[in-house]
Amino acid sequence: MYRHTVFSRVYPGGEHLVSFRTLFGLLACALFASAASAQISTGQQKVTSDAEKLEASADHLARMKAALKNVLGRVEEARNEKDVVKLNCVNEKLTQIKALLKVAEQADISLHEAISNRDPGAEAEFSKVAIARAKIDALRGESDQCIGQLAYIVDEKTTVEVQQPSNLPDAAADVELFAGEARRGPPFPVPPVVRPPPASPGAR
């Protein structure tokens, strides 16, 4: 009796354990699965040829370095402002970005070697670069959030300027009482004068 199952029994006559139809089906699934995986790892572009892989890897590295430069700028900004909280926050992101960039640069070198040796490991090295870029992009965004979280803390460095109409009734002006124009006192009253001459001969 013949039963069509995925893993068929071995017949004494030397028939295959797995049917050909089943084998083709599995192969097709594996191919589709690997293609999907490649698309996820490379972001939004499908890289097929070796030349494209090298070009895309170089682009990823350039963008990662730009992100590093951007976050370094934020560290410098926080250092100038002597804001320890802000500095710690951005430094944490910077450390991770540096480590990821190191990994990506090493993977880029390995990618070049693999391609020149026609080594199938090129795909894995390229994936490393792409993953590092995705993570660095996320960290750069987090460093922006880090600044954003601190923006509402009003201290001597972070200022919020509100321009309001000058003619509104105000609670007070933030100037010292005896500084600037007030140094000489407020507008003084007009002293009385001796009776002015009459406007016309008939007037009193």
Partner 1 sequence: MKSTSSAAGLLAALLALAATPAGAAPGNGIRLGGSEGRLHPYLDVESRFDSNVYYAAPPPGGVVDVGYVGDLIVHIRPGFNLKVPGERVAVDLDANLDWAQYGGVQENASTDLSKLYGAASLGVTAYRRGTIGLELDDRFRRDPSTSTFVFSGAVISNKNDLSVRAPWRPGGGALVISPSFDWMLETFEPFNECAPGTPSPPASCDPDHLSNLGYNELRAGADARWRFLPRTSAVFAADWFSRVPNDTALATDVSGIEARAGLSGLVTPHLGATVKLGYANTLGSTAESYGTVLATLEGEWLASDSARIRVGWDHGFGMEPDPTYYLYTTDRIVLGARYALAGRYGARLDGYWERRGYAFVDGSPTADLLRIEPTIEAALSRWINLTVGYAYTSRASSFSDEPGYDYTKNEAWLRLVFTY
Summarize as ranges the residues that interact with partner 1 (CB under 8 A): 80-82, 155-157, 163, 165-172, 176-178, 181, 184-199, 203-204
The whole-angstrom separation of Cα 20 and Cα 24 is 6
We find the least distance from the C-beta atom of residue 43 to partner 1, in angstroms, to be: 37
The whole-angstrom separation of Cα 188 and Cα 110 is 83
We find the least distance from the C-beta atom of residue 84 to partner 1, in angstroms, to be: 14
The whole-angstrom separation of Cα 60 and Cα 130 is 7
We find the least distance from the C-beta atom of residue 192 to partner 1, in angstroms, to be: 5
Structure tokens at 54: 């090298």
Nearer to partner 1, 1 or 199 (CB): 199
Nearer to partner 1, 44 or 163 (CB): 163
We find the least distance from the C-beta atom of residue 159 to partner 1, in angstroms, to be: 9
Nearer to partner 1, 4 or 184 (CB): 184
We find the least distance from the C-beta atom of residue 77 to partner 1, in angstroms, to be: 10
Three-state SS at 10: coil
Phi and psi, residue 201, nearest 5°: -55, -30
Of 111, 71, 112, 70, residue with least CA distance to 91? 71
Nearer to partner 1, 3 or 204 (CB): 204
What residues contact 126, with CB distance under 8 A and at least 6 apart? 41, 42, 47, 53, 56, 57, 107, 111
Nearer to partner 1, 1 or 171 (CB): 171
